[in-house]
Structure 1
Amino acid sequence: MSSIVVQAFMTLDGVVQSAGGRDEDRDEGFPYGGWQNDYDDEVGTQLVREWESKTEALLLGRVTYEIFAGSWGVWDEDAPGLQGELTRRYNRIPKYVASRTLADADWKNTQFLGPDVPEAVRRLRAQPGGEIRIWGSTQLVRTLAEHDLVDEYRLLIYPLVLGTGKRLFAEGFPISRFALAESRVLPSGIVLCIYRRNDG
């Protein structure tokens, strides 16, 4: 059985929008793109490197998929450091995309989930394998939570309040029970929290 792991860079007020780049996601006129870049944390970089080494597939909503395809999908695989490592990995693993509007994709190893996303994800999760990683994709995460299909939330919480932007757990998010598996404070003040399903 595979596990569905939601991974996110998140502010104190739960914003996950456009953490990595100024123009990554300007939806609703979001003015704070690239907010994560003000924090330099080598420990956090090492954690992401370790986590992504376990990623066997990406599961993405349309907007996040297009952001990823326009970056990881075209960047140089021989780039130094984490950028090259993730570019190589993401190019080789399957990408599963939830979209009502996209019909084809140029990024290799991309598959569309079809009209019944929960059922498609249920089938993926039932297959042998490792971690199926979700980045961003807040609407997809909510849909999966409504069908009890999220196994783990892996959050890096930044000591920052933005007051606006897409939130991972927006108003009306379904009730979900998880157990805290790990927490620690990184040198920059970022707090790592890992929550796993609580089936007890």
Structure 2
Amino acid sequence: MRKLVVWNLMTLDGSFEGAEKWDLAFHDTAWGDELSAFSQAQAEEVGALLFGRVTYEGMAAYWSKETGPIADFMNGVEKVVVSKTLDKADWNNSRRLEGELPGAVAELKRRPGKDIYVFGSAELVAALLRHELVDEYRICIAPVVLGGGTPMFKPFDGALGMKLTKTTPLKTGAVILYYEPQYRA
């Protein structure tokens, strides 16, 4: 069975974007040769990207105009969009997720192939968390405090423990943390 991995950059104070939508300037505090190499190596593990509508539209607008190895990956990999309002998914190799989220994502995980990754998509990640569908979180903590922005984790009932499985410090001062969610049995 394929794993569902959530990958995001986050500030020390928990934001995955600044005060304005798509304000990702803080990524520059973490970016460098090591994170670039990590991103390219991680791409080898990805069989599909799962996006919420907002992230899908932003990624499509940006990556469809870019070139280079990461753009080639983003434009070529299978992309699945979770949305009840999107009419069509017309970015290369994209489709809408059919059916209700828990069952449709569970079915996607059962299909053969490389792992499924979620980039951004905070609302989608919150829903996946509620349904215990995330197998691993990979979070790059950027060495910056914004003092405001969009939090990566949305409020929910209860608590979710995380088991730290690996850390990778970067020369920029950022740290990549690997966590396995500890869902209640």
Q: What TM-score does the superposition give when structure 2 sets the normalisation length?
A: 0.89
- Report if aligned partners of 1:9, 1:156 keep a CA contact under 8 Å in 2: yes
1:148-167 → structure 2 map (5 Å cutoff)? 148-167=132-151
The answer to whether residue 130 in structure 2 is matched with residue 146 in structure 1 is: yes
Moved more, 60-69 or 126-135: 126-135
Please name the residue that 1:36 is paired with: 27
Q: Does 1:86 align with 2:67?
A: no
The percentage of aligned residue pairs carrying the same residue is 34
The answer to whether 1:56 aligns with 2:51 is no
Structure 1: gaps spanning 5 or more residues: 19-24, 77-83
| 1:21-32 matches, cutoff 5 A | 26-27=20-21
Shift of residue 198 of structure 1?
4.1
More strand by share: 2
Cα distance change of structure 1 residues 132 and 173 upon mapping to structure 2, 3 Å threshold: farther
Letter matched to residue 33 of structure 2: E
* Change beyond 3 A, Cα 1:74–1:50: same
- Asked whether the 8 Å contact 1:96–1:110 carries over to 2, the reply is yes
SS of the residue 1:105 aligns to? coil
Q: Which amino acid aligns with 1:57?
A: A
Residue of structure 2 aligned with 1:177, choices 150, 161, 164:
161
SS for the counterpart of 1:50 is helix
More deviation in 173-182 or 163-172?
173-182
DSSP-derived class of the 1:141 partner: helix
SS at 2:36's partner residue?
helix
- Normalized against structure 1, the TM-score is what? 0.83
**1:8 equivalent in alignment to 2:8:** yes
> How much does 1:12 deviate?
0.7
Q: CA deviation at 1:45?
A: 1.5
SS of the residue aligned with 1:16? strand
Q: 1:78-116: CA deviations, max 9, x gaps? A: xxxxxx112222222211001121111221211111351
Shifted more, 147-156 versus 109-118: the winner is 109-118
Q: Residues 97-176 of structure 1 correspond to what in structure 2 (within 5 A)?
A: 97-114=81-98, 116-172=100-156, 175-176=159-160
Please identify runs of 4+ aligned residues in structure 1 that moved more than 3 A: 197-200
Structure 2: where are the runs of 5+ without partners? none
CA distance in 2, matches of 1:97, 1:126: 17
Greater shift in the superposed pair: 113-122 or 64-73: 113-122
Matched, 1:71 2:62: yes
